[in-house]
């Protein structure tokens, strides 16, 4: 049973315990004890929901109690594929992309956005690699937007070097026999719904950073060139 299933089971058990108190003849409780149990159950359930959604990734929790990385947000990404165009013999240029990661304590969902495709992760696991490092293993399905080629299925492994990383890197391979590298850098805590909105936000962040400190390295960058036709 994974963390997500454990979380759901705990909530269901708490709710069943609370409901059972309302069934006549099941439990004979003093009204004060009944009220105390009801509110303890309700508080426990909402506390767990708050922990699962947000509290677990606070700095103090990550430092002392939680053994998993905080990856929540939209990341700028660059893809480099070994795919070769059969008509020209040339490989693709670096592809600009954005990885949207929706993460709770018990689950992680990922979506990769490019100008021409959207890839949805079908299943992902957070694995401990020891010494404060982690790996994300995922299987994904890619669907093109313009219908020039069929979608594909692939697998991806990301290396995570700390609980609050500034960069991620990894490799991917597809069922079409191609493979490549992915580099992720620059993160927004906003989960963008599409490539256009993500790119606009990163461009604004880049322009703002350049205006404030033109000599410093940028925290949010446009991670690559537009995907080649």
- Same-domain pairing of 33 and 88: no
For residue 20, what pLDDT is reported? 59
Q: Are 152 and 175 in contact, with CB atoms under 8 Å apart?
A: yes
Specify if 223 maps to a domain. no
- Same-domain pairing of 160 and 119: yes
Average pLDDT over residues 190-198: 96
- Same-domain pairing of 86 and 193: yes
- Same-domain pairing of 13 and 92: no
Query: What DSSP string describes 169-218?
Result: EEEEEETTS-EEEEEEEEEESS--SSHHHHHHHHHHHHHHHHHH-TTSPP
Q: Are 76 and 188 in contact, with CB atoms under 8 Å apart?
A: no
Specify if 100 maps to a domain. yes
Specify if 64 maps to a domain. no
For residue 208, what pLDDT is reported? 87
Average pLDDT over residues 172-191: 94
- Same-domain pairing of 43 and 111: no
| pLDDT tens column, 38-95 | 677 777 778 878 888 888 999 888 888 889 999 999 999 999 999 888 888 888 889 9
| pLDDT tens column, 10-38 | 566 666 665 555 555 555 555 666 666 66
Question: What CA–CA distance (Å, rounded) separates 10 from 2?
Answer: 12
Q: How many domains is the chain built from?
A: 2
| pLDDT tens column, 104-143 | 998 999 999 999 899 999 999 999 998 889 999 999 999 8
- Same-domain pairing of 45 and 124: no
Specify if 222 maps to a domain. no
Most confident listed range (49-53, 185-189, 223-227)? 185-189
- Same-domain pairing of 48 and 87: no
Phi then psi for residue 28, to 5 deg, are -100, 100
What residues make up the domain containing 31? 3-53
CA 37 to chain centre: 36
For residue 27, what pLDDT is reported? 52
- Same-domain pairing of 188 and 79: yes
- Same-domain pairing of 78 and 181: yes
For residue 51, what pLDDT is reported? 86
- Same-domain pairing of 48 and 86: no
CA distances from 56 to 62, 131, 152, 172, 192 (A): 7, 20, 35, 29, 22
DSSP type of residue 221: -
| CATH number of the domain to which 78 belongs | 2.40.128
- Same-domain pairing of 43 and 96: no
């Amino acid at each position: 049973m994974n963390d997500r299933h454990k979380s759901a089971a705990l909530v269901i058990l708490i709710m069943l315990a609370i409901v059972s108190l309302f069934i006549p003849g099941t439990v004979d409780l003093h009204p004060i004890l009944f009220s105390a149990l009801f509110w303890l159950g309700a508080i426990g359930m909402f506390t767990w929901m708050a922990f699962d959604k947000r509290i677990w990734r606070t700095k103090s929790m990550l430092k002392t109690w939680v053994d998993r990385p905080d990856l929540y947000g939209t990341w700028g990404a660059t893809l480099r594929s070994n795919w070769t165009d059969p008509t020209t013999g040339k490989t693709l240029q670096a592809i600009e992309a954005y990885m949207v990661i929706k993460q709770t304590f018990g689950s992680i969902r990922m979506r990769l956005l490019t100008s021409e495709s959207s890839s949805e992760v079908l299943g992902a696991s957070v694995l401990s690699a020891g010494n404060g490092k982690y790996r994300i293993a995922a299987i994904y399905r890619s669907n093109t937007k313009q219908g020039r080629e069929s979608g594909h299925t692939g697998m991806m492994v990301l290396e995570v070097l700390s609980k609050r990383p500034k960069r991620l890197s990894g490799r991917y391979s597809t069922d079409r026999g191609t493979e490549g590298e992915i580099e992720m850098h620059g993160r927004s805590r906003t989960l963008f719904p599409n490539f256009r909105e993500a790119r606009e936000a990163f461009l604004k962040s880049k322009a703002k950073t350049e205006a404030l400190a033109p000599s410093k390295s940028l925290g949010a960058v446009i991670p690559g060139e537009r995907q080649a036709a």
